[in-house]
Amino acid sequence: MSASRESLAGGREQRVLEIIETARAKPARFRDERITLAHGAGGRATQTLIEGLLLPAFGAPGGTLAALGDAGAVRAGDAQLAMSTDSFVVKPLRFPGGSIGELAVNGTVNDLAVSGARALAMTVSLILEEGLDAGVLRSEVAAIAAAAQAANVEIVSGDTKVVERGAADGMYICTTAIGSVDARARLSSGAIAPGDRVLVSGPIAAHGMAIMLARNLFELDAAIESDTCSLWPAVDALLDAAGSDLHCMRDATRGGVASVLNELARAAGVAVTVRESDVPVDPSVAAAAELLGIEPMHVANEGRLVAFLAPGAAEHALSVLQGVAGCEQAALIGEVGEDPPGMVLVETGFGGRRVMDQLVGDPLPRIC
Amino acid sequence: MRYVDEFRNAELGRAVATEILAAVDPTRHHKLMEICGGHTHAIYKYALDDLLPANVELVHGPGCPVCVIPLGRVDDAIALARTDGVIFTCFGDMLRVPGSDQTLLDAKAQGADVRMVYSPLDALRIARENPDREVVFFAIGFETTAPSTALTLKRAKAEGVTNFSCFCNHVTIEPPLRALLESPDMSLDGFVGPGHVCTVIGTRAFEFIPAEYRRPVVISGFEPLDILQSILMLVRQLHDGRCEVENQYTRVVPRDGNPRALEVMAEVFEPRPQFEWRGLGSIPRSGLGLSDAYRELDAEARFDVPGIRVEDPRACQCGEVLKGAIKPWECKVFGTACTPEHAIGTCMVSPEGACAAYYSSGRLARQTEVV
């Protein structure tokens, strides 16, 4: 705790804040009696489920799962591999800018990419609802094939199941991929250090807003397209430009940039300060979010990464990244500090400073 | 965004903050209440506290629609949601508000058909699309949202949609303010008035505060510059010893409000003799029920609703927070037993609730120098 904070805060308030931070730093306990949609939203309820139930059951102490990265490290002889899996339940199946099939490939490819690994091979499982239109299935199979080809990943195995009408909603897809960790990559949340700069690879919140509008809940019309794409080209450029000065990356999916930053601030025991006015948001996305009262930094992305870079390498890495198609609007949005540890702060465009927390639950389920 | 960015201009914000600093009497402490939860949210979102001198203290008021709903009404809502054949519709915020045993989200996970809607008209649409089901809308809010509920009920009646009904929890802003102003520990110096409510009821509806209680009011918009300017206007009134209702939000709010909205509200609603408020107890003529002409659309008449008054949880100090008597962090359970994940009190659920806003955005010491 810095002297400045201590002297400026009222003593009693400060003590309450410290008690709260101590409580928050403790491992989450899963105490709920039933699963609610909040557990699937990528915010704090999801974190409770993972850290309170799954990790204690599956994670070997000090093992690869405990790092809670987007992909797990696997060693095979001398080869450094990474492996990741993801399920896709998005509704509607098709939306402006993409569809469930494209998302299913890119989502898993991206989990590997931000772990410094290029996807080599992928498995695809399809869970289909009785009565699904074969034309819909055909177009999603074509979307999967096209996205796999674009990402240069081979589909090597798969599975299909059909469930009774009503037991699924059209189709669900699960993909698993394995990739080789790039020799240039030295990525870990532990490498994040005070002074690091925070980068996003492009305008945020487009995917989540595109899905919201595609559901026609708001009678709002705006030309917003999902940002779904493979992040490997962006990662490749960043690794090339920064090498070991690229400290950590995350794919800012459910829960948005805010969730990713909170997870990493907590994992690395650092503070992250974001300058709101430097965060790129497409004007139509910003306007829709404003109308709906939604904070863009809480909205899901499917083709945007957040990267932490050593201060000396950040500007160069940014300019290299801006040369990659789709990343022209990449930006440095903030810095890593020491205090207060585990917290994300925002310098608002209006001049104040506030905390930016994770959401407890997303009001909008089935975004990916 | 045109017409929005202008009101978020940091340079102008700093200029107004400087004017506030110049206008404020450094020897006095000013306690100003923002009545509306929308203002509370904006104050935390833009960290406006950071821009104010330390002797200008903002106190969060009772105008958060979710926060004022008592436990018993949530229990009634859950009972309605669990009724066979019912599709229960409500705003997203209400899903996580705790009742005695559970939330609507829990009831949904156990099989109740609870659906989130964005407007009462969505609920009416669901009723039209499901003629063999009963669709109940959980109506909450002050005069801001009451007209849209009223119009929806009017439309349902006109279209003869018989499977639609409303569980009405609309409230009015004047009674709780009077309760607040008459409480013995009242220590507020002035009020930032609710701009959205005033688009309906007009600034005239707040004239009782200076007239009867000698406190200034400035009706404010919701952008950061609006709120800062309103605080400046309040500080100037206090400095000049003036005491009146001023309208900062003139681009939207007329003195007499919206006569058509008031007309439709008068047709559809009537004041209940008593209505229970979270933490504030029962306040006469503070809640709106459906008028005789709309009784057939009243879910409380159509279904068996327990209607049992339930004491607030002992540990919960939402009432004190809603009255501005304590700060969120001064509540005994704040941030430990009561968090946004597992809320005990309503103020920890809605983004407009003082506790949720402080917990999610404000867990930081103020940066301004002590004057």
A49: how many CB neighbours lie within 10 A of its CB? 18
Please give the tally of structural domains in chain A: 2
Give the residue, A98 or B314, on which the prediction is more confident: A98
Using a CB–CB cutoff of 8 Å, tell me whether B7 touches chain A: no
Q: What is the pLDDT of residues A74-97, one digit of tens each?
A: 999 999 999 999 999 999 999 999
Answer yes or no: do A216 and A119 share one domain.
no
Per-residue pLDDT band at A25 (split at 50, 70, 90)? confident
Residues in chain B within 8 Å Cβ distance of A13: 327, 329, 365
The answer to whether the CB atoms of A13 and B96 lie below 8 A apart is no
Using a CB–CB cutoff of 8 Å, tell me whether B57 touches chain A: no
Q: What is the pLDDT of residues B44-99, one digit of tens each?
A: 999 998 899 999 999 999 999 999 999 999 999 999 999 999 999 999 889 989 99
The answer to whether the CB atoms of A351 and B13 lie below 8 A apart is yes
Answer yes or no: do A254 and A347 share one domain.
yes
Contact between B69 and B346 under an 8 Å Cβ cutoff? The reply is: yes
Q: What is the pLDDT of residues A128-185, one digit of tens each?
A: 999 999 999 999 999 999 999 999 999 999 999 999 999 999 999 999 999 999 999 9
Average pLDDT, chain A: 91
Q: Which domain holds residue A109?
A: 71-181
Choose from B46, B103, B196, B227 for mutation: most chain A CBs within 10 A. Answer: B46
Using a CB–CB cutoff of 8 Å, tell me whether B133 touches chain A: no
Contact between B41 and B352 under an 8 Å Cβ cutoff? The reply is: yes
Per-residue pLDDT band at B2 (split at 50, 70, 90)? low
- CA–CA separation, A322 and A302 (whole Å): 18
Say if strands B245-247 and B217-220 run parallel, antiparallel, or are unpaired: parallel
β-partners of residue B32 are B58, B190
Please give the pLDDT value at position A235.
98
Answer yes or no: do A297 and A271 share one domain.
yes
Answer yes or no: do A201 and A290 share one domain.
yes
Q: Look up the CATH number of the domain holding residue A79.
A: 3.30.1330.10
Tell me if A221 is assigned to some domain: yes
- CA–CA separation, B53 and B228 (whole Å): 12
Tell me if A262 is assigned to some domain: yes
Answer yes or no: do A211 and A148 share one domain.
no
Contact between A12 and A326 under an 8 Å Cβ cutoff? The reply is: no
**pLDDT over 80 at A4, yes or no:** no
Residues in chain B within 8 Å Cβ distance of A35: 109
In chain B, helix, strand, coil percent, each to 5? 45, 20, 40
**pLDDT over 60 at A6, yes or no:** no
Answer yes or no: do A208 and A304 share one domain.
yes
Contact between B87 and B122 under an 8 Å Cβ cutoff? The reply is: no
Domain boundary among A140, A157, A181: A181
Angle at B56 between CA A14 and CA B36, to 5 degrees: 90
Please give the pLDDT value at position A360.
74
Please give the pLDDT value at position B362.
85
Taking Cα atoms as reference points, which of B294, B119, B116, B280 lies closest to residue A220? B119
Please give the pLDDT value at position B366.
54
- CA–CA separation, A162 and A209 (whole Å): 31
**pLDDT over 90 at A366, yes or no:** no
Please give the pLDDT value at position B299.
98
Q: Which of A23, A287, A354 sits opposite B362 (nearest CB)?
A: A354
**pLDDT over 70 at B370, yes or no:** no
Q: Pull the structure tokens for residue A94.
A: 């098709």
Q: What is the pLDDT of residues B270-295, one digit of tens each?
A: 999 999 999 889 999 999 999 999 99
Q: What is the pLDDT of residues A124-144, one digit of tens each?
A: 999 999 999 999 999 999 999
β-partners of residue A335 are A197, A273
The answer to whether the CB atoms of A286 and B359 lie below 8 A apart is no
Q: At what angle do helices B146-159 and B259-268 cross, to 10 degrees?
A: 60
Domain boundary among A181, A206, A241: A181
Q: Pull the structure tokens for residue A59.
A: 């994670």
β-partners of residue B269 are B290
**pLDDT over 70 at B367, yes or no:** no
Q: What is the pLDDT of residues B227-268, one digit of tens each?
A: 999 999 999 999 999 999 999 999 999 999 999 999 999 999
Tell me if A265 is assigned to some domain: yes
Please give the pLDDT value at position A148.
97
Contact between A253 and A84 under an 8 Å Cβ cutoff? The reply is: no
Tell me if A249 is assigned to some domain: yes
Answer yes or no: do A283 and A351 share one domain.
yes
- How far A203 CA lies from chain B's nearest CA (Å)? 16
What's the mean pLDDT in B5-26? 91
Who contacts A4 (Cβ-Cβ below 8 Å, separation ≥6)? Answer: none
What's the residue count for chain B? 371
The answer to whether the CB atoms of B1 and A23 lie below 8 A apart is no
A249 backbone dihedrals φ, ψ, rounded to 5°: -140, 155
Please give the pLDDT value at position A3.
37
Least confident of A33-37, A119-123, A182-186, A247-251: A33-37
Q: Look up the CATH number of the domain holding residue A194.
A: 3.90.650.10
Q: Which of A286, A353, A360 sits opposite B1 (nearest CB)?
A: A286
Domains and CATH numbers, chain B: 71-173+257-302 (3.40.50.11740)
Answer yes or no: do A226 and A340 share one domain.
yes
* B-contacting residues in A 6-35 (Cβ below 8 Å): 8-10, 13-14, 16-17, 19-21, 23, 31, 33-35
* B-contacting residues in A 214-233 (Cβ below 8 Å): 217-218
Tell me if A204 is assigned to some domain: yes
Q: Which of A16, A37, A350 sits opposite B10 (nearest CB)?
A: A350
Using a CB–CB cutoff of 8 Å, tell me whether B367 touches chain A: yes
Per-residue pLDDT band at A322 (split at 50, 70, 90)? very high
- CA–CA separation, A281 and A44 (whole Å): 24
Q: For chain A, what percent of residues have pLDDT higher than 70?
A: 96
Please give the pLDDT value at position A36.
86
Least confident of A22-26, A129-133, A179-183, A322-326: A22-26
Residues in chain B within 8 Å Cβ distance of A218: 118
Who contacts B120 (Cβ-Cβ below 8 Å, separation ≥6)? Answer: B137, B139, B148, B149, B152, B153, B166
* A-contacting residues in B 329-358 (Cβ below 8 Å): 329-330, 334-336, 340-342, 351
Q: What is the DSSP string of B13-32?
A: HHHHHHHHHHHS-TTS-EEE
- How far A247 CA lies from chain B's nearest CA (Å)? 27
Answer yes or no: do A195 and A299 share one domain.
yes
Which residue reads 């240069």 in tokens? Answer: A152
Q: How many CB pairs under 8 A join A and B?
A: 115
B54: how many CB neighbours lie within 10 A of its CB? 15
> Rounded to whole angstroms, what are the CA distances from B102 to A364, B7, B77?
21, 41, 11
Please give the pLDDT value at position A364.
66
Q: For chain B, what percent of residues have pLDDT higher than 90?
A: 80
Contact between B176 and B62 under an 8 Å Cβ cutoff? The reply is: yes
Using a CB–CB cutoff of 8 Å, tell me whether B361 touches chain A: yes
**pLDDT over 90 at B156, yes or no:** yes
What's the mean pLDDT in A360-364? 66
Tell me if A135 is assigned to some domain: yes
The separation between CA A323 and the C-alpha centre of its own chain, rounded to angstroms, equals 22
Q: Pull the structure tokens for residue A66.
A: 């405990």
- How far B287 CA lies from chain A's nearest CA (Å)? 27
Rounded to the nearest 10°, the torsion over CA A350, A351, A353, A354 is: -10
Angle at A215 between CA A93 and CA B77, to 5 degrees: 120
- CA–CA separation, A74 and A270 (whole Å): 27
Per-residue pLDDT band at A351 (split at 50, 70, 90)? confident
Give the residue, A46 or A336, on which the prediction is more confident: A336
What's the mean pLDDT in A46-57? 91
Answer yes or no: do A116 and A228 share one domain.
no
**pLDDT over 80 at A7, yes or no:** no
Q: What is the pLDDT of residues B299-349, one digit of tens each?
A: 999 999 999 999 888 888 988 888 888 999 999 999 989 998 888 988 998
Using a CB–CB cutoff of 8 Å, tell me whether A356 touches chain B: yes
B48 DSSP 8-state letter: G
Q: What is the pLDDT of residues A220-247, one digit of tens each?
A: 777 899 999 999 999 999 999 999 999 9
Q: Pull the structure tokens for residue A122.
A: 């992928």
Q: At what angle do helices A206-214 and A283-292 cross, to 10 degrees?
A: 60
β-partners of residue B138 are B167
What ipTM goes with this model? 0.83
The answer to whether the CB atoms of B116 and A354 lie below 8 A apart is no
Using a CB–CB cutoff of 8 Å, tell me whether A37 touches chain B: yes
Answer yes or no: do A230 and A165 share one domain.
no
Contact between B222 and B197 under an 8 Å Cβ cutoff? The reply is: no
- Amino acid present at A256: G
As to burial, measured by CB atoms within 10 angstroms (0-12 exposed, 13-18 middle, 19+ buried), residue B49 is buried
Q: For chain B, what percent of residues have pLDDT higher than 70?
A: 98
What's the mean pLDDT in A87-116? 97
Answer yes or no: do A90 and A151 share one domain.
yes
Q: What is the pLDDT of residues A248-306, one digit of tens each?
A: 999 999 889 999 999 999 999 999 999 999 999 999 999 999 888 889 999 999 999 99
- CA–CA separation, A240 and A244 (whole Å): 10
- CA–CA separation, A126 and A109 (whole Å): 17
Q: Which of B48, B108, B359 sits opposite A352 (nearest CB)?
A: B48
Tell me if A149 is assigned to some domain: yes
Contact between B321 and B60 under an 8 Å Cβ cutoff? The reply is: yes
The answer to whether the CB atoms of A354 and B224 lie below 8 A apart is no
Residues in chain A within 8 Å Cβ distance of B46: 348, 350, 352, 354
Q: What is the DSSP string of A193-216?
A: -TT-EEEESS--SHHHHHHHHHTT
Domain boundary among A181, A215, A237: A181
Cis-peptide, bond into residue B340, ω within 30° of zero: no
Q: Tell me which long-range contacts B198-201 makes (C-beta under 8 A, separation of at least 24).
A: B198/B247, B198/B249, B198/B253, B198/B257, B199/B144, B199/B252, B199/B253, B199/B257, B199/B258, B200/B143, B200/B144, B200/B146, B200/B147, B200/B257, B200/B258, B200/B261, B200/B262, B200/B265, B201/B143, B201/B173, B201/B257, B201/B262
